Amino acid sequence: MSAATQKVRVDSEFARLRTVVVSRSEFHAPDNIELLGHRMPVEPNAVAILDAVWGKTFGEVYPDKQRAWEAERDELADVLRRHGVDVLRPRLFTADEKAAAGPVGYANFFVRDPWFTVGENVIEGVLQFPHRRHEVQTSRDLLLQRVMPAAAHYVSLPQPGIGNPGPGPFLEGGDVLVLGTQVFVGLSGMASNALGYHWLAKFLQPQGFNVTPVRLPEHVLHLDCAMSLVREGLVIVCPDRLPDGLPAPVRDWEQIEVSEDEAAAMATNGLPIDSETYITDPQFERVGKQLQSRGITVEYIDFSVSRLFGGAFRCTTQPLLRIE
């Protein structure tokens, strides 16, 4: 099927994954913590590791970890291909783009956040952390090749106001979970904000979507760091990260609960390939066994380097086609 005739659509978090973008592994830290804006959430054991990279690329400080990081993403791509998924990869930053980033630094490591797909809509968001605001550039060629020829809408949020971080609007894909015409948007103040949520609700409402805000504690970056929709009627959730409980449309679903410590290590950031297959890290074997006891096949991939940066399998992927 040619790019011009391919569909672009995401029906839910667990509809069969057919086309997906898998992240690269590029990170140049800002020159100092003041340029970061606010503290970047990382896996709890990673603070000292990442504190060593201010003003440097991760690879120049930790070449062995850099190679392992790239291998993790390559293994994920291989597993997805084995399941029949069409895997795309963003390009790397160009030398000019790296130079233009200046002291703020750059990141090209979690494709979930700079753009996202809801129904037949591909939306370029706006990220709070300055070093991530140009991350969409490395996916832009893919979007032009795959989305522009398709019937899907392709839109972008307004540019944020001036400041660090400024008023926004901010809207990041890690905060956006899709369940048919129900869309949940996490709001902690660290990533998506109320203005971003209202923009999305206004854009999607004429298409029949119901967009629901989900309050998060201020230390939780994204909604997918608090809950994962595994299949219809089943959710992995960290109750401590949802002060108002699960959103109403999924409140009666069966829950596999994880602790705050497990969620901080990314226990909710797995990836359904479909409603019967789920990818997670062997670190979360306890969760995997609970999934297996419910008839779900679990694929384990060691993602220990990726998790240092506060994300895992969902953060590393962005679907263009998820349909039954």
What CA–CA distance (Å, rounded) separates 65 from 172?
27
User: What confidence score (pLDDT) does residue 41 get?
Assistant: 66
User: What confidence score (pLDDT) does residue 3 get?
Assistant: 44
What CA–CA distance (Å, rounded) separates 75 from 247?
34
4 pLDDT higher than 50: no
Contacts of 227 (CB under 8 A, 6+ apart): 177, 235, 236, 237, 238, 241, 242, 246, 268
Six-digit token string for 239: 């109750």
Average pLDDT over residues 87-95: 98
* Peptide bond before residue 165 is cis, with ω within 30 degrees of 0: yes
The tens digit of pLDDT for each residue in 123-171 reads: 999 999 888 999 999 999 999 999 999 999 999 999 988 877 778 899 9
The amino acid at 170: F
Task: Name the average pLDDT for the chain.
Answer: 94
Tell me how far CA of residue 170 lies from CA of 187, 199, 203, 209, 224, in angstroms.
10, 9, 15, 20, 16
User: What confidence score (pLDDT) does residue 48 get?
Assistant: 77
Count other Cβ atoms within 10 Å, centred on residue 25. Answer: 23
What CA–CA distance (Å, rounded) separates 173 from 113?
4
What CA–CA distance (Å, rounded) separates 252 from 262?
23
Average pLDDT over residues 265-283: 98
Closest CA to 114 of 194, 160, 174: 174
What CA–CA distance (Å, rounded) separates 197 from 212?
8
List the Cα angle 177/182/186 in 5-degree steps: 40
The tens digit of pLDDT for each residue in 25-59 reads: 999 999 876 666 566 666 666 677 778 899 999 99
Average pLDDT over residues 224-235: 98
